[in-house]
């Protein structure tokens, strides 16, 4: 979605209550009349995301109505950038600080904002937010280039909300994801080489931080999210040419799949702060690529006449078309876990997460949606209709979103919300990460 120029309501000499309300809640003047998006009375931000039904909001889920919501979020983020080009979520010890200029910059939050700007249509050379994107990229490159091989982390900033809740290595994880996204853009050779080198550094630190059990070390309150995002980051890095340690990748995927028992349909939430949403959204993400591979192998065999049209994805059928027993078992497990997890992650009672909104909830919704796109699963459209309607309903009057527990940062939550709302811009890129 490309940012569009919008006319603002003029403020007349006589300021009526009606104009004040229009400026507060529906700031955009549009050429064609459309239904007005009403927020709940008496509440600027609805605290329980999972209870916000999207029913009746289909009229808002069109580009003409979603774009102004995205525009307001981007405008807010542009103003939130710090002098050094970075963005910050603030410290865990001061979660109540909502002023984006009263915190220090950190790589994880900066990467989320930069990805939101990139996905929303701006590039290093074009778009209304190219200046912010260039500054954010330079901040991140300087951060990574300043660390040594012996350093465990890519930043000296400690105790951030993101690290405390997701994990101490989350900065390298999200920065690697951003660098991978950038390498899919049209870049000059010098910038490309610089980003590639920094991506390799981040990948190395992620892999070194991954234990034999597949967990990424330094897990926070909801460490399963760090591990799920790490898998996403490594798959993205591989799709743009980075060399991975397949043992590490496999262990990560097995760990994420292990949080959902396909036989008993039970969810392991030990590393997800006891929250089902956090675990199943990342089980879906960790199994998405292999689940797609399993489905594509079966469909190809059907077209070639090797299997019947109603044959299912299972160990027997995969072995019949030449897949080894070990691979057939792994592919079938991924296929079953993916489908069960994505369904579970979208159940209303699961979407309530912790009970009210935090950055973890927004990230989980993003992981669920992206897993479906990576899997080339058209169900992402149903997910988008539901989540976009909910997000539009709870946007703050100033264009931001914020959390009410744990990750409260309006910068981080706004960036994540924008990544969700503008996901259709990256459909082909996300699908590419799921290709074998």
* pLDDT higher than 90, residue 273: no
The parent domain of residue 25 ranges over: 7-433
Across the chain, what does the average pLDDT equal? 78
What domain count does the chain have?
A: 1
Check residue 221 and give its pLDDT: 52
Whole-angstrom distance, CA of residue 311 vs CA of residue 298:
8
CATH code for the domain in which residue 418 is found:
1.50.10.20
Among the listed ranges 6-15, 141-150, 350-359, which one has the minimum average pLDDT value?
Answer: 6-15
8 A C-beta contact, residue 87 and residue 99: no
Nearest in space to 388 (alpha carbons), one of 376, 374, 401: 401
User: Is residue 327 exposed (0-12), middle (13-18) or buried (19+ Cβ within 10 Å)?
Assistant: middle
Let me know if residue 194 belongs to a domain. Answer: yes
Residue keyed to tokens 């811009």? 425
Structure confidence at residue 350 as a pLDDT band (50, 70, 90): low
* pLDDT higher than 80, residue 243: yes
The backbone torsions φ and ψ at residue 267, rounded to the nearest 5 degrees and listed phi first, read -115, 130
Task: Work out the average pLDDT over 93-99.
Answer: 72
Structure confidence at residue 367 as a pLDDT band (50, 70, 90): confident
Let me know if residue 2 belongs to a domain. Answer: no
Check residue 124 and give its pLDDT: 97
Let me know if residue 1 belongs to a domain. Answer: no
Let me know if residue 210 belongs to a domain. Answer: yes
pTM: 0.78
8 A C-beta contact, residue 23 and residue 9: yes
User: Is residue 103 exposed (0-12), middle (13-18) or buried (19+ Cβ within 10 Å)?
Assistant: buried
User: Is residue 22 exposed (0-12), middle (13-18) or buried (19+ Cβ within 10 Å)?
Assistant: middle
For the segment 311-346, what is each residue's pLDDT rounded down to a tens digit? 999 999 999 999 999 889 888 888 888 888 777 767
Q: If DSSP codes are grouped into helix, strand and coil, which group holds residue 404?
A: coil
Half-sphere exposure of 308 (CA within 13 A, CB side): 3
Structure confidence at residue 219 as a pLDDT band (50, 70, 90): low
Range with the largest mean pLDDT of 340-344, 354-358, 388-392: 388-392
Among the listed ranges 2-6, 90-94, 146-150, 315-319, which one has the minimum average pLDDT value?
Answer: 2-6
For the segment 102-132, what is each residue's pLDDT rounded down to a tens digit? 999 999 999 999 999 999 999 999 999 999 9
8 A C-beta contact, residue 179 and residue 236: no
Check residue 132 and give its pLDDT: 98
Task: Work out the average pLDDT over 385-412.
Answer: 84
Let me know if residue 394 belongs to a domain. Answer: yes
For the segment 277-288, what is each residue's pLDDT rounded down to a tens digit? 555 565 777 788
Structure confidence at residue 259 as a pLDDT band (50, 70, 90): low
């Amino acid at each position: 979605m490309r940012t569009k120029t919008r006319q603002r309501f003029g403020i007349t000499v006589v300021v009526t209550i009606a104009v004040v309300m229009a400026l507060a809640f529906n700031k955009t003047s549009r050429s064609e009349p459309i239904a007005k998006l009403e927020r709940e009375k008496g509440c600027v931000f609805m605290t329980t995301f999972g209870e916000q039904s999207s029913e009746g909001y289909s009229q808002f889920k069109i580009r003409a109505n979603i774009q102004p919501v995205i525009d307001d979020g981007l405008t807010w983020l542009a103003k939130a950038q710090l002098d050094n080009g970075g963005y910050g979520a603030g410290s865990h010890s001061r979660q109540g600080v909502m002023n984006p200029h009263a915190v220090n910059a950190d790589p994880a939050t900066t990467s989320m904002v930069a990805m939101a700007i990139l996905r929303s249509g701006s590039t290093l050379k074009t778009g209304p937010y190219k200046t912010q994107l260039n500054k954010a990229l330079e901040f991140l490159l300087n951060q990574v280039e300043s660390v040594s091989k012996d350093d465990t982390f890519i930043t000296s900033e400690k105790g951030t909300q993101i690290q405390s809740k997701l994990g101490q290595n989350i900065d390298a994880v999200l920065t690697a994801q951003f660098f991978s996204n950038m390498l899919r853009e049209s870049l000059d050779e010098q910038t490309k080489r610089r980003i590639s080198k920094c991506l390799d550094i981040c990948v190395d630190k992620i892999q070194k931080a991954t234990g034999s059990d597949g967990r990424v070390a330094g897990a926070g309150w909801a460490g399963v999210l760090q591990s799920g995002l790490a898998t996403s980051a490594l798959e993205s890095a591989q799709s743009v040419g980075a060399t991975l340690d397949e043992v590490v990748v496999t262990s990560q995927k097995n760990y994420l799949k292990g949080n959902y028992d396909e036989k008993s349909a039970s969810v392991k939430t030990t590393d997800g702060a006891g929250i089902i949403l956090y675990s199943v959204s990342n089980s879906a993400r960790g199994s998405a690529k292999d689940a797609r591979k399993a489905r594509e192998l079966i469909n190809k065999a059907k077209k070639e006449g090797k299997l019947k049209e109603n044959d299912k994805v299972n160990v027997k059928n995969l072995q019949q078309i030449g897949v080894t027993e070990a691979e057939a078992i792994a592919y079938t497990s991924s296929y079953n876990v993916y489908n069960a997890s994505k369904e579970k992650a979208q159940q209303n009672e699961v979407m309530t997460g912790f009970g009210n909104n935090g950055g973890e909830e927004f990230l989980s919704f993003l992981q669920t949606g992206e897993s479906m796109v990576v899997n080339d699963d058209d169900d992402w459209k149903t997910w988008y209709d539901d989540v976009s309607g909910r997000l539009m309903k709870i946007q703050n009057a100033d264009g931001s979103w914020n959390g009410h527990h744990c990750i409260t940062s309006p910068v981080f939550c706004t960036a994540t919300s924008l990544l969700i709302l503008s996901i259709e811009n990256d459909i082909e890129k996300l699908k590419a990460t799921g290709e074998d």
